[in-house]
Amino acid sequence: MEGSKNATIVDVAKKAGVSVATVSRVLNGNYSVREATKKRVEEAIAVLAYVPNLQARELNMQKSSTIGVVVPDLFNTFFSLVMDGIEERLREDGYSLLLNFAKNDPHQEMACIEALVSRNVSGIIVISPNTTHIRESFYRKLSLRLPLVFINGYRSIPHISYVGNNERKGTHTALQYLMQLGHREILFVRGAASDSYRVKEESYRKHMAAREAEDAVCVIDIGEGNSRKTIDLAESKMVESLVTYKPTAVFCCNDLMAIGTLRAAKKVGLHVPRDLSVMGFDNILAARLVEPALTTMDQHMTLLGKHAAKALLAVIQSGKTQHILLDNTLVVRASTGPAPKRLV
């Protein structure tokens, strides 16, 4: 039996000379066991290479060691870096992750949530929830059943913790930087069906109005903003838009769109940044690898994930919800420069 892969809790009990109930108490840590007895059980587990049935333990303890995470996609490395922060922090408390992809589809997002609930997860973190297109009652009812955290969610629903970057302020900072460089014709690039894009567009329109530049407002929606198609979609859309609208600067809601815009500028013969400044948002790894390197707003994604994990643990352990707002940081690189002088 020594080292058998099929060793059971009964085998451990026999080896240690104790009852099955005592082995269970040692495994679950929910009752005190004499130190000498505990040591015999642990030695038997090691000798037999016994692997506990995790699902059975979770049923007995009426809790799960799994956390559900709903994410739009992982092609945009913004989400993978947030995931890295979540996993790192939750691993410290013995939790593992169960990942579902919503694909920026409200119906898919609800299906992901329902699938995670059916798997008896201890809590759910939703990255960039689509609260604009999902009935509030769906998440309101869910929050009464299960600990829930939104990352970059913008609808306030009771009993849900919120962790996010101040994207309104970050957009304002980005546009202020571009205007300080002399840009007035700033084209805004976004994707479809995202609260994050909506909030950034609202900030853009407000900023342009405050600078009496409403006549220069121009919003381009490329469609899928967080998929493997995003760069190509942005390039295709921006080839036409750069020629039609002739902006001096382009602000993009994420770095993937900005990379597509850099490619479009090259296609139509515009030099970046001499003829056109291009700015992204997120500061993914690719932002510093493209040519020219991309000016962007750093969302500190790993830190964002860690804060979300801590917020979820707080709800699980004490029922206390939190609202945490982090600042973005302007990262200036080679893709932005002074506005070109144009003949009137």
**pLDDT beneath 50: ranges in the chain:** 1, 3-4
Q: What 3-state class would DSSP assign to 89? A: helix
Q: What is the pLDDT of residue 50?
A: 77
Assigned CATH topology for domain 167-298: Rossmann fold (3.40.50)
| 66-166+300-327 is a CATH 3.30.450.40 domain | no
Nearest to 68 by CA among 126, 137, 128, 141: 126
pLDDT single digits (tens) 24-59: 778 766 567 888 998 998 898 888 877 665 555 555
Buried b (16+ CB within 10 A) or exposed e, 19-52: eeebbbbbbeeeeebeeebbebbeebbeebebee
What CATH class does 9-61 carry? mainly alpha
The yes-or-no answer to whether 66-166+300-327 and 167-298 have a common fold is yes
Q: What is the pLDDT of residue 60?
A: 53
pLDDT single digits (tens) 153-189: 887 888 899 999 999 999 999 999 999 999 999 999 9
Q: Which residue has the tokens 């352990």?
A: 317
Which residues are CB-neighbours of 38 under 8 A, at least 6 positions away? Answer: 26
Q: Which residues lie across from 123 on neighbouring strands?
A: 67
Q: What is the pLDDT of residue 63?
A: 63
Query: Per-domain residue ranges for the chain?
Result: 9-61, 66-166+300-327, 167-298
